[in-house]
Structure 1
Amino acid sequence: MTRPPVAFRRLRSQDAALLRRLNAVFAEAFGDRETYQGDPPPDAYLRDLLARDHVIAIVAVRDDEVLGGLVAYEFDKFERMRREIYIYDLAVAAQHRRQSVATGLIEHLRAIAVQRGAWVVFVQADHGDAPAIALYTKLGAREDVLHFDIAVGSGAPSARLAP
């Protein structure tokens, strides 16, 4: 018996429940339940967020199971009249890795980028994350950069140099 194909779809305002299921995949994949499930926002907040054109959430589903997904943000640039799309989170559930799910997610995002008139899609990977580095190397040109988190007030993460 053959499995149904993986479907890739952009989440919209009516998909808050799917976004919660994607957050569960992120929590497991990143080993960070506190961030992704510790204090979930209400559905109204998620519906508003998913209704915004510059917020892009895509899920990979098969038989109503969320296999993985990504969250990206579109930026309008000042130095040129163009847009860039930044992949902020991308994960695939462990049992569905090495099945081209992540590649399919990025390809779906690339199609959205074309529709939105974006100039480039970009993403960061942590040093030592060999699977992510291999995937992104296959799909694009590598740049070595330093990433800094800058605190914006009390309760914010302290500024640190990413490893």
Structure 2
Amino acid sequence: MLAVKRLATGDIAAFRAMNALFAEVFAMEREYLGAPPDDTYVARWLADPRNIAIVAESRGETIGALAGYKWPKFEQARSELYIYDLAVRESDRRRGIATALIEEMRRIAREVGAWTVIVQADVFEEDEPARALYRKYAFEEIMAHHFDIRP
């Protein structure tokens, strides 16, 4: 049975399972597991209502996860939710798990009065299934580049 839930302050073990899943699915162990934050940091991060962590669990393990943020806007008195990372373990794909994670993000967006949920997707061929999923929900698709700028 699939359970989808938003993590709260005390869900430190589930937060760590989420990061382990991202490390596995994205093949980015150094980024997600190389310097893990301590429990105090994780509890503070989870307690901040602008931070969103959603996990999908089945058979007692985390098989999907979504991490995102609520961004208060400056041009109007409104907010948007941003999906930063979304992953489903390869062996569990094509079972509606990513859809369930997005639906939970949409529910949270309605709950907090956000005007939209945004997500970026890489343009690599192997990411086409993710883009196809996002297109099912999108009212607009904008082609853009993402630039990482060193501080």
CA–CA distance in 2 between the matches of 1:62 and 1:31? Answer: 22
Q: 2 CA distance for matches of 1:64 and 1:113?
A: 27
Aligned mates of 1:146, 1:126 — CA distance in 2: 9
> For residue 148 of structure 2, what is the aligned residue in structure 1?
149
Superposed CA RMSD: 0.8
- The equivalent residue for 1:55 is 51
Partner of residue 137, structure 1: 135
Distance 2:88 2:145 in 1: 25
Alpha-carbon deviation of 1:131? 1.2
Count of paired positions: 148
Distance 1:25 1:62 in 2: 13
1:142 Cα deviation after fit:
1.3
What letter corresponds to residue 139 of structure 1 in structure 2? Y
Q: State the one-letter code of the partner of 1:73.
A: Y
Look at both structures and tell me which one has the larger radius of gyration over its CA atoms. 1
1:78 paired to 2:74: yes
Using the size of structure 1 for normalisation, the TM-score is 0.89
Specify every segment of 5 or more residues in structure 2 that has no aligned partner in the other structure, as ranges. Answer: none
Structure 1 stretches lacking a partner, 5+ long: 153-163
1:98 aligns with 2:94: yes
What is the CA distance between 1:63 and its match in structure 2?
A: 2.9
Q: Distance in 2 between matches of 1:35 and 1:97?
A: 23
Percent identity between the two aligned chains: 47
SS state at 2:115 partner:
strand
Partner residue in 1 for 2:103:
107
Counterpart AA for 1:131: P
1:16 is aligned, of 12, 17, 23, to: 12
Q: CA deviation at 1:23?
A: 0.7
For 1:11 and 1:137, locate their aligned partners in 2 and report how far apart those are by CA, in whole Å: 26
Shift of 1:44: 0.9
Within 2, Cα distance between the matches of 1:63 and 1:30? 22
TM-score, normalised to structure 2, is 0.95
Cα distance, 1:139 vs structure 2: 1.4
Q: Using CA pairs below 8 Å that are at least 6 residues apart, which structure has the higher relative contact order? A: 2
Q: Distance in 1 between matches of 2:59 and 2:132?
A: 28
